[in-house]
């Protein structure tokens, strides 16, 4: 399956593994890349740039295929050393950088000087156009179904993918709620040239999280995510559990709340422990509505091959139905 996305990334299939905090590590990234997709290491999962360099070396020992590094740039009173993480990735020979959060404009010149490609992940057409003007090589756009922070516009993929494809000229990757070959076929028909999946890759054998978390995703339906931080204008979609429901309950108190009222519940270290120890109710578990499409826990290779086969079948059957009509 060849598209501008596969040509840009050097992959067999136009399937990208999303950059996920605590999950985007060498075990998963290498498995996705070996299966023909693009694996992604999440820079800020590592405690410092030196640890990222070590993780890149570890991933390279597991695959000789292309993989990328995600750098999520968020507003902060004490920001991480983003540029040092970027330097570590580029110095280690990584040539695909996925950026997310605010504009990557300040890092583009350095990445391009190292002959790296930048895929920028955003949640709105206006942000996609801004990133395109800044010089990114591809856009990954999150529909409202996505895990993580899907923005404040609340536009689902069916509309957002088509609107973005109409607006941007660089290759477009559809993200958010993709969990099957049929979903991939729909995204391609809407004008995307590839898909990005996070939650679906969490429910694979190689994902470096506890099996209890994987089975919690498997058991859950598409209605079992919840939106947090709505009152803070920083909406996040997570799995519905004791912690996320308590967060929403606090947000709904008369008079509202401040982030400090929630910090003890949503701390990243707490979420990491939930993922590693398998207690789904001990921290936030970020998950998209694609949980409703998870029916098993395959290897990454099994998942990708099935998706490609199902995507081709869906497109073929759709064409036949159209011609028959």
Q: Where do the structural domains in the chain lie, given as residue ranges? A: 4-208+300-324, 211-289
Q: How many residues does the chain have?
A: 325
* CATH, domain 4-208+300-324, list 3.90.550.10, 3.40.50.300, 3.90.1170.50, 3.20.20.70: 3.20.20.70
Three-state secondary-structure class, residue 197 = strand
Q: What is the pLDDT of residues 75-113, one digit of tens each?
A: 777 889 999 999 999 999 999 999 999 889 989 999 999
Among 52-61, 71-80, 127-136, 246-255, the range scoring the smallest mean pLDDT is 71-80
Which residue is it, tokens 């070959």? Answer: 181
DSSP conformational letter for 260: G
Alpha carbon separation from 88 to 15, 82, 100, 170, 201 (Å, rounded): 25, 10, 18, 27, 26
* 201: its two tokens: 């890759």
User: What's the predicted TM-score (pTM) here?
Assistant: 0.96
The alpha carbon torsion through 214, 218, 220, 221 (nearest 10 deg) reads 140
Task: For residues 212 and 294, give the distance between their C-alpha atoms in angstroms, rounded to a whole number.
Answer: 15
Q: What is the pLDDT of residues 164-186, one digit of tens each?
A: 999 999 999 999 999 999 999 99
Read off the pLDDT band of 215 (50, 70, 90): very high
User: What 3-state class would DSSP assign to 181?
Assistant: helix
Q: Tokens for 272?
A: 């990491």
Give the pLDDT mean for 15-30.
97
Give residue 200's pLDDT band: very low, low, confident or very high (50, 70, 90). very high
The kind and range of the H/E element at 264 are helix 263-266
């Amino acid at each position: 399956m060849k598209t501008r996305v596969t040509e840009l990334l050097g992959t067999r299939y136009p399937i990208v593994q999303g950059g996920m905090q605590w999950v985007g590590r060498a075990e998963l990234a290498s498995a996705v890349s070996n299966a023909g997709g693009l694996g992604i290491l999440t820079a800020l999962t590592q405690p410092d740039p030196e640890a990222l360099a070590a993780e890149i070396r570890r991933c390279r020992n597991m695959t000789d295929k292309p993989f990328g590094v995600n750098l999520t740039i968020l507003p902060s009173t004490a920001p991480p050393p983003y540029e040092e993480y970027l330097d570590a990735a580029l110095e280690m020979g990584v040539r695909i950088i996925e950026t997310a959060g605010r504009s990557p404009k300040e890092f583009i010149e350095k990445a391009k000087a190292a002959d790296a490609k930048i895929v920028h992940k955003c949640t709105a057409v206006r942000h996609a156009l801004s990133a395109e003007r800044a010089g990114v090589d591809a856009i990954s756009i999150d529909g409202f179904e996505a895990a993580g922070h899907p923005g404040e516009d609340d536009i689902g993929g069916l509309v957002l993918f088509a609107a973005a494809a109409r607006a941007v000229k660089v290759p477009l990757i559809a993200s958010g709620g993709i969990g099957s070959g049929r979903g991939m076929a729909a995204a391609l028909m809407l004008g995307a040239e590839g898909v990005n999946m996070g939650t679906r890759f969490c429910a694979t054998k190689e994902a470096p999280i506890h099996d209890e978390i994987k089975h919690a995703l498997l058991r859950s339906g598409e209605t079992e995510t919840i939106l947090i931080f709505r009152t803070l204008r920083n909406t996040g979609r997570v799995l519905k559990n004791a912690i996320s429901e308590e967060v929403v309950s606090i947000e709904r108190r008369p008079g509202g709340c401040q982030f400090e009222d929630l910090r003890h519940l949503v701390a990243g270290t707490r979420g990491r422990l939930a993922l590693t120890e398998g207690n789904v109710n001990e921290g936030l578990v970020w998950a998209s509505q694609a949980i409703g499409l998870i029916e098993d826990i395959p290897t990454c290779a099994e998942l990708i091959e099935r998706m490609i086969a199902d995507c081709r079948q869906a497109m073929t059957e759709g064409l036949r139905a159209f011609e028959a009509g």
